Amino acid sequence: MNSSMINAMVSMNGLQQKLDLLADNIANVNTVGYKRKEATFEDLLTNLRSQPEAFNQPGRLTPMDFTQGWGSRMTMVQPNLSQGLMQGTNKETDIAIEGNALFEVEVDGAGNRGYTRNGAFQLTLGANGDTILAAEDGYPVVANVEDALTGDIIEGNIVVPQGYSLRVNSDGSVFGVSSDRTIELGSIKLLQASRPSALTAVNDNLFVVGNGIDAGDVLQQIVPNSENLITLRQGYLEQSNVELTDEMTELINVQRAYQLAARALSSSDTMMSLTNGLRA
């Protein structure tokens, strides 16, 4: 198999992965809190070759050496955590993050955590029968709450007592409000990703830290304030940050590159057939 066929096949494989990624972005253009995926490519092994001496004709000014590549491959897919548009819903359990931060949720009883920008929360029953704030999939939202026994601040859930409505301030503090009193319920925990490339998407809106990576090296807890420009907005939802026009333009470019690689593969196959048909 000649080098041009290898080059074309490797490039087509990478371009097919890019097409799948673009299709995923386009399919989620209306998904709340979705973050577009971006791919990074790199060249595969390149060789420095030299042309035969017969090419060194009088008057030649260009060097005899040339670089031979072997295509490119997709090396990394990472989320683009840029801000999406805010849409008002007037629903007390809908919470949007304005700025660079993520919600943290409990994905199972073993203590594993997931991270999301989707603030379409709901009130649901917890394992002990309490009414807690949770994601649409039922994952409890992680918060900093006061321990009833020691008074220390620990990680827990937002528990909303019967007869109280939810109020979330811009700094993440959460209160239960009734007709005659207001009680403090805790503060929603927010994290900021210093290495977005280490986040792995497990579904359209949920990310986890990859295996073998310390979560503390990827995410740091952050408190909303005027300096970091992070605020929470109750009664709003952040929309997808996918720009359909940009994705369609990129899709056309990738399709044309794929067609060019396919044409190169076809041409190489034709040349090999002609060569095999030659007779001395």
More confident residue, 170 or 69: 170
Beta-bridged to residue 105, according to DSSP, are 114, 141
pLDDT of 165 reads: 92
pTM of the model: 0.78
Q: Among 38-42, 43-47, 231-235, whose mean pLDDT is lowest? A: 43-47
- The residue range of the domain holding 196 is 86-238
Count how many domains the chain has.
2
Whether residue 260 is contained in a domain is answered as yes
Please tell me whether residues 45 and 118 are part of one structural domain.
no
pLDDT per residue as tens digits for the range 60-117 = 767 777 666 666 777 888 888 888 999 999 999 999 999 999 999 998 877 789 999 9
Please tell me whether residues 219 and 96 are part of one structural domain.
yes
Whether residue 143 is contained in a domain is answered as yes
Closest by alpha carbon to 14, among 67, 68, 69?
Answer: 69
pLDDT-derived band at 6 (thresholds 50, 70, 90) equals: confident
pLDDT per residue as tens digits for the range 130-152 = 899 999 888 999 999 988 788 88
Closest by alpha carbon to 2, among 280, 262, 267, 263?
Answer: 267
Please tell me whether residues 76 and 94 are part of one structural domain.
no
- Does residue 48 surpass a pLDDT of 70? no
Please tell me whether residues 111 and 229 are part of one structural domain.
yes
Please tell me whether residues 180 and 248 are part of one structural domain.
no
Please tell me whether residues 173 and 206 are part of one structural domain.
yes
Please tell me whether residues 101 and 172 are part of one structural domain.
yes
Please tell me whether residues 170 and 96 are part of one structural domain.
yes
pLDDT of 89 reads: 93
Mean pLDDT of 191-203: 87
Closest by alpha carbon to 116, among 157, 81, 168?
Answer: 81
Spatial neighbors of 17 by CB under 8 A, at least 6 apart, are 39, 74
Please tell me whether residues 93 and 203 are part of one structural domain.
yes
Whether residue 58 is contained in a domain is answered as no
Please tell me whether residues 112 and 219 are part of one structural domain.
yes
- Does residue 44 surpass a pLDDT of 90? no
